[in-house]
């Protein structure tokens, strides 16, 4: 041992001299070269960034004008190809319709900023003009100048292809974007008049303020008309007017590269000084390390003692771990099993020591061997047979044991995931089946139809029966949803008894069912089946002490006679169903092309909905949400109601589907959002308001600005706004939806996944999307008292939310029994008819006041 310190003493002076004379100068030179290279690279990067920024801003400027022109083309097409506009402005000018009723008058300036609206007849005369929302007697040629005739000629050419024309003109000394379209009847019942139609013209004046606004929308600073004085010669965009005169735009060029230089060069200088200091410190540290090497042997011996203690601790942990730990030799024969192995599998470890690990598992042995030999080894899902004979699932992880490059064996852990696997299978099943009846749902029905339609021929027909229950709604209204659910289960059972094993019965939701039938010989067979279905569902249902009588109406569509696409076939059957209901219910009807008159009725309903939006016939009700602890009100969910002038108070399910189909859900949803924010701003500071977002709203490009504006206008703190998104809204356009939700989160609001557990991939959605709350679907809550599976799913979802630190709210709590089960399972929030029905805003304020008085009552009592 004495030779070792002596050798160290001989080496230390020589190592210090070598380091000082050779290594240190080399390090200094390398650092200098590296810093010079870094400075050159930063300068080059800055130049490249400035160049790329200029190219990008030129592209965005071009895109701003192109997009604005496209938007004006779409808007003028909507108005010019409108039958009412043609009737009131083309051959004659109806000022009352156009200006007084604001169909084509001041609203175009107020809402869209169009400074001028003209109607020009075929002879070039201006028959109608509105300047900045005011009726005027101004000729379009005088106001716009040259180029107008070229635009009108382009519009008359474009109308042959049902298109519009647009371009740049000059008005009031400024460039002006103009869009023109020849007026048509738009496919309506209005008969075209004699002679050529008039041309509708919209003009947007691109004055300095408008150009700045247009540029700001595309992150272009100071977009303006170039004057040649003080303008950057590189930031120029040439546009051509229709009168062949050019106009050049310019903007204030951003210079991120130059800014980068101002930031990085001082930092680089500081880094140079820092590295020099670091090199000096490293030298001192290296010399110090030489002096402490003499003590390494003692530390090594101490490390060996610590290693022995660590091995002992590992053994203790292995025996106490929840997973069982295993080790094998290089031939994968088991050499060690922790005590948890026997507790989980029931097998004694001694009976498996020395036997191959592969014999324990139920899987392809070659695949398992390849997995063990893989260098990049992900956890393996496999199964094994427990000692009691049942098959269980586990997740296996492994790591190779090597010494000096030689393989000694493998070690790893095994986690029992049997319950997790069952839960995932259940969730997957529910994504394809109705949670209440167990029938295939809409998703499964569409897949089945597409598969069957791919093989259908003129000989092998396919029949679709669209079934809607009659007199079902009064059951829910009078006896409650429990009775309604039991009736739906009974209906599904009777329907399955009416079909063959290879046919399909599906529930679309509510009281709507669909049958898909093959191997039918003709219309008599179908009518016979329909008679059996109607007769079967007409038999009374027993619920507690009540006899419940319902019925059914059936719409029938045949493939390939009526349609060959799944969606078209269901639509035809739905149309036939409406006809069957119109015929008196309790009957069936085959689809016929004449039934498309139903579409006209739908258009009338759509007009009613548009009128309701214009006249604000809606009102927001609120269903309170409660903390489980003390049943304190912590917020409310906004629910819309429609005060229809003839049909009375309508619930969302009576008009929201139509709004979603027609796209009116976007303005309707915006109204609900703004109204809820305005009213919630007057609530107690701790309460939260929840607002539902439809899939169409999520795809609306203006959603972020709408929500931000609603928060600013109402003064409601963003943290008190919660947006509810159903999982069905996440099934398409996942990346774009994720981008939208992430951007919404930057406002500081909360996101909730509504109807959780009914979609395709709830677990993956929780990991991917930034949700703060999950709302358990009411169908699971309703089934808890009667279904062990539903209760297990609800409890698993509550535990899952707790594990992910996501708040969990149970919806649809309608009985005390359901509430007690949720409280026992640890659910922190709940809502439903058992606590409170949806309330008007005045009633909600009264509820808040009662809740506040109840909370302060104990403290008041103490004061007395």
DSSP state at residue 686: T
Are 313 and 202 members of one domain?
no
How far apart, in whole angstroms, are the C-alpha atoms of residue 518 and residue 558? 10
What is the pLDDT averaged over residues 61-80?
88
Kindly report, residue by residue over 464-514, the tens digit of the pLDDT. 999 999 888 878 877 888 888 999 999 999 999 988 888 899 998 889 999
pLDDT of amino acid 11: 46
Are 236 and 163 members of one domain?
yes
Are 123 and 245 members of one domain?
yes
Among the residue ranges 17-21, 268-272, 530-534, the one predicted with the least confidence is 17-21
Q: Would the pLDDT of 6 be above 50?
A: no
Burial of 554 (0-12, 13-18, 19+ CB in 10 A): buried
Are 712 and 754 members of one domain?
yes
Are 340 and 476 members of one domain?
no
Q: What is the CATH number of the domain that holds 408?
A: 3.30.450.20
Are 812 and 757 members of one domain?
yes
Q: What is the CATH number of the domain that holds 488?
A: 3.30.70.270
> pLDDT band at 111, cuts 50/70/90?
confident
Q: Position of tokens 């380091």?
A: 19
- Among residues 387, 416, 445, the one where a domain terminates is 416
- Among residues 591, 623, 639, the one where a domain terminates is 591
How far apart, in whole angstroms, are the C-alpha atoms of residue 810 and residue 822? 8
Using an 8 Å Cβ cutoff, are 326 and 411 in contact?
A: yes
Considering the domain boundaries, does residue 398 fall inside one? yes
Q: Is the dihedral of CA 453, 567, 581, 490 positive or negative?
A: positive
Are 144 and 246 members of one domain?
yes
pLDDT of amino acid 738: 86
Q: Which two tokens stand for residue 820?
A: 């007690």
pLDDT of amino acid 860: 43
> What residues are paired with 693 via a beta bridge?
725
Helices 418-432, 442-453: axis angle to 10 degrees equals 70
Split into its structural domains, the chain has a count of: 4
pLDDT of amino acid 292: 73
Are 441 and 401 members of one domain?
no
Among the residue ranges 196-210, 427-441, 588-602, 641-655, the one predicted with the least confidence is 588-602
Q: Would the pLDDT of 1 be above 80?
A: no
Q: What is the CATH number of the domain that holds 151?
A: 3.30.450
Using an 8 Å Cβ cutoff, are 20 and 279 in contact?
A: no
Are 437 and 477 members of one domain?
yes
Considering the domain boundaries, does residue 14 fall inside one? no
Q: Would the pLDDT of 611 be above 80?
A: yes
What whole-number percentage of the chain has pLDDT above 70? 90
Using an 8 Å Cβ cutoff, are 835 and 633 in contact?
A: no
What is the pLDDT averaged over residues 694-701?
88
Burial of 590 (0-12, 13-18, 19+ CB in 10 A): buried
How far apart, in whole angstroms, are the C-alpha atoms of residue 468 and residue 472? 9
Considering the domain boundaries, does residue 745 fall inside one? yes
- Among residues 528, 559, 591, the one where a domain terminates is 591
How far apart, in whole angstroms, are the C-alpha atoms of residue 239 and residue 62? 9
Are 545 and 672 members of one domain?
no
pLDDT of amino acid 337: 86
Considering the domain boundaries, does residue 7 fall inside one? no
Q: What is the CATH number of the domain that holds 810?
A: 3.20.20.450
The parent domain of residue 191 ranges over: 71-250
Rounded (to 5) percent helix, strand, coil in the chain: 50, 20, 25
> pLDDT band at 5, cuts 50/70/90?
very low
Q: Which two tokens stand for residue 32?
A: 């200098």
Between 711 and 410, the more confident residue is 711
The total of other beta-carbon atoms located within 10 Å of residue 174's CB is 15
Q: Which residues contact 853 (CB under 8 A, 6 or more apart)?
A: none
Considering the domain boundaries, does residue 110 fall inside one? yes
Are 448 and 347 members of one domain?
no
Cα distances (angstroms) measured from residue 618 to each of 205, 609, 832, 836: 37, 10, 22, 21
Kindly report, residue by residue over 151-198, the tens digit of the pLDDT. 888 888 888 888 899 989 888 888 999 999 999 887 778 888 888 889
pLDDT of amino acid 53: 82
Of 431, 443, 548, the residue nearest 489 (C-alpha): 548
Rounded to the nearest integer, the mean pLDDT of the chain is: 84
pLDDT of amino acid 673: 96
Are 702 and 841 members of one domain?
yes
pLDDT of amino acid 861: 38
pLDDT of amino acid 9: 44
Considering the domain boundaries, does residue 677 fall inside one? yes
Considering the domain boundaries, does residue 105 fall inside one? yes
pLDDT of amino acid 620: 96
Considering the domain boundaries, does residue 102 fall inside one? yes
């Amino acid at each position: 041992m004495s030779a070792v310190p002596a050798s160290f003493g001989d080496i230390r002076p020589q190592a210090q001299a070598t380091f000082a004379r050779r290594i240190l100068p080399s390090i200094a030179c390398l650092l200098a070269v590296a810093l010079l290279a870094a400075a050159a690279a930063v300068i080059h990067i800055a130049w490249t960034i400035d160049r790329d920024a200029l190219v990008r801003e030129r592209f965005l400027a071009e895109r701003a004008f192109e997009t604005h022109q496209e938007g004006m083309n779409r808007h003028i097409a909507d108005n010019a190809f409108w039958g009412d506009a043609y009737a009131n402005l083309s051959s004659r000018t109806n000022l009352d319709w156009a200006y007084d009723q604001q169909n084509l008058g001041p609203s175009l300036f107020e809402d869209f900023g169009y400074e001028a609206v003209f109607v020009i007849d075929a002879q070039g005369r201006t028959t109608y003009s509105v300047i900045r929302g005011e009726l005027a007697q101004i000729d379009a040629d005088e106001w716009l100048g040259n180029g107008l005739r070229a635009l009108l000629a382009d519009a008359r050419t474009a109308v042959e292809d049902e298109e519009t024309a647009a371009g740049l003109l000059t008005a009031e000394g400024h460039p002006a974007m103009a869009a023109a379209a020849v007026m048509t009847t738009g496919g309506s019942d209005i008969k075209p008049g004699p002679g050529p139609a008039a041309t509708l013209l919209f003009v947007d004046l691109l004055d300095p303020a408008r150009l700045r606004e247009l540029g700001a929308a595309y992150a272009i600073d100071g977009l303006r008309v170039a004057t040649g004085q003080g303008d950057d010669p590189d930031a120029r965009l040439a546009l051509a007017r229709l009168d062949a005169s050019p106009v050049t735009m310019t903007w204030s060029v951003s210079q991120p590269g130059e800014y980068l230089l101002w930031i990085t060069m001082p930092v680089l200088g500081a880094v140079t000084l820092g590295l020099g200091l670091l090199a000096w410190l490293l030298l001192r540290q290296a010399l110090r390390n030489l002096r402490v090497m003499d003590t390494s042997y003692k530390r090594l011996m101490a490390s060996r003692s610590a290693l022995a203690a660590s091995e002992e601790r590992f053994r203790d942990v292995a025996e106490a771990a929840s997973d069982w730990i295993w080790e094998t030799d290089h031939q994968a024969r088991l050499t060690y099993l922790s005590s948890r192995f026997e507790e989980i599998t029931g097998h004694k470890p001694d009976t498996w020591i020395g036997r191959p690990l592969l014999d324990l598992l139920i899987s392809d042995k070659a695949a398992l061997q390849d997995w063990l030999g893989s260098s990049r080894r992900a956890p393996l899902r496999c199964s094994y047979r427990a000692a009691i004979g049942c098959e269980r699932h586990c997740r296996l992880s492994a790591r190779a044991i090597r010494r000096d490059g030689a393989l000694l064996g493998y070690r790893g852990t095994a986690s029992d995931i049997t319950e997790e696997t069952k839960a995932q299978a259940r969730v997957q099943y529910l994504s394809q089946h109705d949670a209440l009846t167990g029938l295939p749902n809409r998703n499964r029905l569409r897949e089945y139809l597409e598969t069957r339609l791919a093989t259908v021929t003129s000989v092998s027909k396919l029949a679709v029966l669209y079934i809607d229950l009659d007199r079902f709604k009064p059951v829910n209204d009078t006896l409650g949803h429990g009775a309604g659910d039991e009736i739906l289960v009974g209906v599904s059972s009777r329907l399955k008894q009416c079909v063959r094993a290879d046919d399909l019965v599906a529930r679309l939701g509510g009281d709507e069912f669909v049958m898909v039938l093959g191997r039918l010989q003709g219309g008599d067979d179908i009518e016979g089946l329909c008679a059996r279905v109607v007769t079967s569902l007409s038999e009374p249902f027993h619920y507690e002490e009540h006899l419940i009588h319902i019925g059914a109406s059936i719409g029938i569509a045949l493939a390939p006679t009526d349609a060959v696409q799944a969606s078209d076939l269901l639509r035809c059957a739905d149309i036939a169903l409406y006809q069957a209901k119109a015929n008196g219910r309790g009957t069936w009807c085959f689809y016929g092309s004449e039934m498309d008159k139903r579409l006209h009725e739908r258009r009338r309903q759509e007009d009613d909905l548009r009128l309701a939006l214009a006249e604000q016939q809606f009102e927001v009700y609120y269903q309170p949400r409660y903390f489980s602890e003390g049943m304190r009100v912590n917020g409310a969910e906004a629910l819309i109601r429609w005060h229809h002038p003839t049909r009375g108070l309508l619930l969302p399910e009576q008009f929201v589907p139509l709004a979603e189909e027609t796209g009116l859900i976007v303005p309707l949803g915006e109204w609900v959002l703004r109204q809820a924010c305005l009213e919630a701003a007057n609530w107690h500071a701790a309460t939260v308001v929840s607002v539902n977002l439809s899939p169409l709203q999520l795809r609306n490009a203006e959603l972020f600005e709408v929500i931000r504006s609603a928060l600013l206008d109402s003064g409601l703190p963003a943290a008190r706004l919660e947006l509810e998104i159903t999982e069905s809204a996440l099934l398409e356009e996942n990346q774009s939806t994720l981008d939208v939700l992430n951007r919404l989160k930057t406002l500081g609001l909360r996101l909730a996944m509504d109807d959780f557990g009914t979609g395709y991939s709830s677990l993956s959605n929780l990991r991917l999307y930034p949700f703060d709350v999950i709302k358990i679907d009411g169908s699971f809550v309703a089934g808890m008292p009667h279904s062990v599976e539903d209760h297990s799913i609800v409890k698993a979802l509550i535990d899952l939310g707790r594990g992910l630190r996501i708040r969990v709210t149970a919806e649809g709590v309608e009985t005390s029994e359901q509430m007690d089960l949720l409280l026992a399972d640890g659910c922190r929030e709940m809502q439903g008819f058992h606590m409170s029905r949806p309330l008007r805003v005045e009633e909600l304020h009264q509820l808040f006041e009662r809740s506040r008085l109840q909370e302060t009552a104990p403290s008041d009592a103490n004061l007395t």
